[in-house]
Amino acid sequence: DGSTIRNGDAFIYGGALTLSADFYLSDRLALGAHVKERFVFGNDTGHFLTQFGVHVKLTIE
């Protein structure tokens, strides 16, 4: 994310929660979305980082 650790003695810790869903439009085609929230503590740049996206899945047989 481009952040810089200025304190060499810092201990950075955290976790993440993810939510994703797929919607099947046919037997071979699915449309999906996901959201991920990361919780990062022990730094000066911020505590919450959000990522989101959409995707298309195509099954080729």
Question: Is the pTM for the entire model greater than 0.75?
Answer: no
- Mean pLDDT along residues 24-37: 95
Structural domain boundaries, residue 24: 13-58
Report d(CA 15, CA 48) in Å as an integer.
Answer: 10
- Gap between the Cα atoms of 58 and 61, Å rounded: 10
Average pLDDT over residues 7-30: 88
Look at residue 37 and tell me if it is in a domain.
Answer: yes
Domain annotation covers residue 26: yes
What percentage of residues in the chain have a pLDDT greater than 70? 79
Q: Is residue 2 part of a domain?
A: no
Cα(32)–Cα(53) distance, integer angstroms? 9
